[in-house]
Structure 1
Amino acid sequence: MASWLPETLFEIVGQGPAPSKDYYQLLVTRSQVIFRWWKISLRSEYRSTKPGETKETHEDFLENSNLQVQVALIFGSRILDYVFNLCYGKFDFLERLSDDLLLSIISYLDLEDVARLSQTSHRFAKLCLSDKLWEQIVLSCCDTITSDMKALAEDIGWRKMFFTNKLQHQRQLRRRKQKYGSPREKQP
């Protein structure tokens, strides 16, 4: 399965903690952890400082506590934990799937499971609230969707369309027709 992985497993850039203006990059490849830095200073003794780079194998990174402390200070302990997992070979293949593929998978879940999934990460929260997902859910649950209903869903959002009752839909459709006219009236 590791052959399915891209060469670059993880990359993050950031600025050092205040008052530092230095920039850092952390790159995790299949075989190495690469830590790069760029010193930004107005002091004359640091102006000629060249960018630096440290390359470690995964095994060496796991033993290099100085580099681990630097990563934790700049990027935080959660990033350090994630890099540890990558170095140990614990890959999150689900995180690597495209949004379209995940939306297709999520659309088969029960609504309660969609609600639970939305609480697991920022990415899944965004996907579970997306109009693309709710359009798939509405189209799979409803037998007939008229062009007026599709237009209304585009206006108010597919999720809201799903959770709105039939009477409210009729009122909204009537208001929409009064405001825009029906699609049939626009045709010559």
Structure 2
Amino acid sequence: MAAFSMPRWVGVVTAAESTGFLIPVAGFAISGTAGLSPGWAWLLMVACGAGEGALLGFGQAVALRGTSWQVPPARWVPATAVGGMLAWSLGMAPSSLVDLGVDIDFGNPLTWFLFGAGAAVLLTSIPSAQYVVLRNRLPGAWKWIPVNAAAWTVGLVFTFLPGPFIDESTPAVAMAAAFVLAGVCMAATVAVVTGLWWRSRPVLTERALRT
């Protein structure tokens, strides 16, 4: 078995997630151009989330291939896609409800509780789905969930940075470049944090690898 390679993990995962992030970006563009209703726009973004998750999962599986921590792509990729779908379904819920005319009372403590609970589920959706694959293969696999939650909390900040600097008058090329750069920064952040966790993992036994 090959040793875990931090450069390989960061490079492959960053490329996979950066490319995957372009799927939801394209979804936003299609939704706006086609004038989709809030419900259809939400469904489109959930589907795009599955695509982003699948690419991320594929990149992670490739980066771990040949190491003692390798994961079965046939299970890992679909699990990550499901996690991506859940994340985007929750992430798009508030704006979709507003577009549907739902009056969200931000003065109600229950509203903030629901937002907090939704955010927690969003941040843990992908690693929780992946944990189903890891739980019988890696000691302390549950730690993958909080590590990812921390990584995505920091990484997602980059996706909001272009907002204050772009509007409807921003040239399409500049807007695309801003979101591509934001996506790369997000992906690299997540890759580095999760890579550090993998690098600290104990080598799996042959028995565990056959599970």
TM-score category, normalised to shorter length: under 0.3
Using the size of structure 1 for normalisation, the TM-score is 0.26
More helix per residue: 1 or 2? 2
More strand per residue: 1 or 2? 1
User: Which is higher, the Rg of structure 1 or of structure 2?
Assistant: 1
Using the size of structure 2 for normalisation, the TM-score is 0.24
Q: Which has the higher contact order (CA 8 A, sep 6+)?
A: 2
